[in-house]
Structure 1
Amino acid sequence: MSDLFDLTGRVVLAAGANSGIGLGFLMGCAKQGADVVVWGRRGDRNEQALEQLREAGAGRTHHEVVDVADEAAVIAAFKSTVETMGRVDCLFANAGYSQVAPSFPDMTSEMYHALMDVNLHGAFYTLREATRHMRDRAQAGDPGGSIVVCGSLSIFHGIKGMEHYAGAKGALAAMVKGLAVEMGEYNVRVNMIAPGFIMTEMTSGSDKAQQIIERFSAITPLKRPGYPSDIEGPGAYLASDASKFHTGDILVVDGGRTVKSL
């Protein structure tokens, strides 16, 4: 019996993937036998992530040290990835960071542009290289692929001091819809995952970790915050043939927080 989620022989690349949500996405794919590629800014952390992914069942593994805000570095890293792995079947554009300004009137231009350089422009460079690769492969007779972008609940809710972060994620949500239309002729699906609050190493290791857990448990119908492991299933789904007719969508993974009115 064939397994809709089987990723054996598929190459899945995730940017910003040596921890947190990006690593969770790749873990889900590794458990389905995928070949995995980690992009991150620290080589030692990338290697540690690859070890975890191999233990989870990944096939071939590879990593690139890359800062997605550097256009030339993204182009070089994608080229190196394809030369090493032969192809990329699924891309998860996840590299980014969050930041809270004191208020919008007090947000500096430096703060705004620094975040946009990574969260929006870095995603653009990454998506452009992936779409070029998948388009060219399709035109050579090998169509298909999946592109996934990491979104945020800030697309749907206003958050004081995070207008720049929400602006980047909102722009990417619009870009996903356009890419779904444009890349459809190549049988390439394009979707977004919008996670709720996810406990990462940074938040779970802080002095306020218990406070954070209690706060987000109280406002989430499933009564807990999210964890990187909660991205494993959506990751495997969107990378695999299980989602072969699913494109142009924002998949919300938030424990029901968005639908709770009070």
Structure 2
Amino acid sequence: MSEKPHPFDLTGHVALVTGGNSGIGLAMADALAAAGASVCVWGTNAERNEAAARELEGHGGKLLAVRCDVGDEEQVAQAMERTVETFGRLDSCFANAGIGGAGSRFVDTELSEFRRVTRVDLDGAFLTLRAAARQMLAQGEGGSLVGTSSLAARQGQPRGQAYAASKGALVSMIKSIAIELARHGIRANAVLPGWVSTPLADPTLDSEAFHRKVLPRVPAGRWGEPGDFGSLAVYLASPASAYHTADALTVDGGYVNF
């Protein structure tokens, strides 16, 4: 009797992580590579891309780093073409790339600033997931699509309307993708991080006032860390999540329920 494969063994699996050169994205890419996957990292900073690839090399799998601005439709198409040319297929896609807003008051926010954020955080996720879905449909073997949202999708974020709007829309888009593509064996889920120590969030988390007011409201007693999302990425990429779709998974140390 043959032994069933381990559900979290990603040997032969190809994963794409946008914004995968730092923070949550890099932690996801690292965990996926450690589980045996071949991993492609997209990011706008070529030096950080290469540094991330070197960091992941120790796991022994095939790696690729591609410079790509996910808000540019042509760049996404070219990056996806290169990814598939290199690996021959795509099994999971983590649309994680994102930027923050300028922190301006709502009434002072220019339309150009609003669109600067939504261009990456919403349009970029759409372009990435669409390209990945097209490839998965062409393969005809299913797959996993994941979008990194935020608690800003569920809670009001003063001086962050563009970011909140993007992350809320991403959750709705993911659910719609999941329903439409389920019959093709493609599942789609969103991940909603809470307060996580990343290069994007640290300027806020390191504020003495913010630390004093917010950290006591986190039942886990600490800020999240990028590594808290690695095992979740492996689960969402793996066969273990085959029946898990159209969900929004909150990873916040209990913050939103306190």
TM-score class, shorter: over 0.9
**Partner of residue 4 from structure 1, selected from 4, 7, 12:** 7
Give 1:1-262 correspondences, 5 Å limit.
Answer: 2-55=5-58, 57-138=59-140, 143-201=141-199, 203-204=201-202, 209=206, 211=208, 215-260=213-258
Q: Give the CA deviation at 1:210.
A: 7.3
Deviates more, 1:176-185 or 1:1-10: 1-10
For the residue of structure 2 that corresponds to 1:8, the secondary structure is: coil
Taking a change above 3 Å as real, the CA distance of residues 207 and 192 of structure 1, as seen in their structure-2 partners, is closer
Q: Give the CA deviation at 1:159.
A: 1.1
Runs of at least 4 residues of structure 1 off by over 2 A? 201-204, 206-217
Taking a change above 3 Å as real, the CA distance of residues 255 and 207 of structure 1, as seen in their structure-2 partners, is closer
Encode CA deviations 1:53-72: one digit per residue, 9 max, x unaligned.
Answer: 122x2510011101111110
| Number of aligned residue pairs | 254
The one-letter code sitting in structure 1 at the alignment partner of 2:188 is V
Q: Give the CA deviation at 1:252.
A: 0.5
The one-letter code sitting in structure 2 at the alignment partner of 1:178 is S
Q: Give the CA deviation at 1:224.
A: 0.2
For the residue of structure 2 that corresponds to 1:29, the secondary structure is: helix
Per the normalisation by structure 1, the TM-score is 0.92
Per the normalisation by structure 2, the TM-score is 0.93
Taking a change above 3 Å as real, the CA distance of residues 113 and 153 of structure 1, as seen in their structure-2 partners, is same
- Alignment RMSD (CA, Å): 1.7
Encode CA deviations 1:215-243: one digit per residue, 9 max, x unaligned.
Answer: 54311100000011011111111011111
**Which blocks of at least 5 consecutive residues in structure 2 are unaligned?**
none
For the residue of structure 1 that corresponds to 2:89, the secondary structure is: coil
The 2-side partners of 1:68 and 1:207 are apart by: 25
The 2-side partners of 1:223 and 1:58 are apart by: 35
